[in-house]
Every structure is written in structure tokens, then in C-alpha cells.
Amino acid sequence: MPKVSAERLEATRRRVLDGARRAFATHGYEGATVRILEEETGLSRGAIFHHFPDKDALFLALAREDAEEVASLVDEAGLVEAMRRLRYKDAGWLGVQLEVARRLRTDGEFNQAWEQHLKGIARATQARLARQRDAGVVRRDVPVATLAAFLSLVYDGLVAHLATGMPIAHLDGVLDLVEQAVRQTPGAEAPMTTPEEQPR
């Protein structure tokens, strides 16, 4: 039997992931049966599960891929830029994000496995905000962790809204407002405080 090249194996793996993304986005995790995965990928059950031991591993691979992409973009350009680029994401990508959110709420094992990825994105966000604060770009009167939580909540809400298929009116203006909310106001040099340091 001829040996399959690494390039061909990777191409098949990519085909499985792309087809699975469509299946999960359209049918949800539970609804994406093996038959539907076969239809969406155009591959047999054996070919699909040659690359991934089960459906859960396949879904996790997609979700990890997305989380790593977001963390890398956040580290390079910031979470607001990641929000701006959401408009170019297709229904498959957005659908997987909704499935991740649902499984975080309903699946304890998935929640535990996914925690490290959430921490990775949070670390990237906070590290970039800290660098920008030190450069005088980001406001100093609010703790970095609070700013990161604010941006994360806006990002999650934007993903959820876009996943419904409804456009957001004035998206650029909204994201400009979000960016202004975390930027240092000229002339404002108030020291950063933690909740413990704030006057009661």
C-alpha cells in the first residue's frame, strides 16, 4: 500500500475540520451526527475518525484553533481589532463560537478542558493593555483586569449578536466608542486603583 504524504494527510485533516465546522454551525454539536459529518466533509467515517478519535475531539480541535487565532490577534493588535474583524467571519466560525458558549454552560468536562484557552485569551488581553497603559495609551484609573473583563464582555456579546445573522448598525462607531472607553483621556493622570484602594 503506498504511503500517504504528510501534505495529503494535512489536506484531509483540513477538509474534515472545514466540513465539521459547517456541520456544527448548522446542526449544533448534538445534531451533527456521523452521517451529517460524512455529508459535509465528503469523507467516510473511517477517514474522519482517522484524524480525530471522536466527535468531541473534532469539536475541541476547531474550538482550540479559533481560540489560538483570537489570542494571537489580541496579542498583536488588541481585542478591539479582533472585534472589528468579526464582521468578516462566516456563519460556520460564528456557529462554533455559540456552540462553545453553550457547552461551557451545560458540559462540565468541556468547561474544565476549555478553561486554559479562556485564560490564554485573558492573559493576552491583559498583557497588551498593560503595555499600552505603560505607554500612556490606556487609562490608568481602572485596573487592567477590569478593562480586560469589559472588552471580553463586549466581544462575547458581539459574537452572539453576529451569530444570529443580524448585522449591527453603526458597528464602526460602536467599536470606536468601546476603544475610547479604555483609552487615556488627555490630561487625565489619575493613578490606577484597585477596589480595595477606592474610598468608601
Contact present, 78 and 85 (Cβ < 8 Å):
no
pLDDT of residue 196: 46
**Fold matches, 1-52 and 56-182:** no
pLDDT of residue 96: 87
Instruction: Please tell me the pTM assigned to this model.
Output: 0.78
Q: Where do the structural domains in the chain lie, given as residue ranges?
A: 1-52, 56-182
Q: What is the pLDDT along the chain (200 residues), one digit of tens a residue?
A: 456 688 888 999 999 999 999 998 888 888 999 999 999 999 999 999 999 999 989 998 998 898 888 888 888 888 899 999 998 888 889 888 888 888 888 988 888 878 878 888 888 889 999 999 999 999 999 999 999 999 999 999 999 888 888 778 888 999 999 999 999 876 555 444 444 434 33
Q: What is the pLDDT of residue 199?
A: 38
Task: Assign a CATH topology to domain 56-182.
Answer: Tetracycline Repressor; domain 2 (1.10.357)
* CATH number, span 1-52: 1.10.10.60
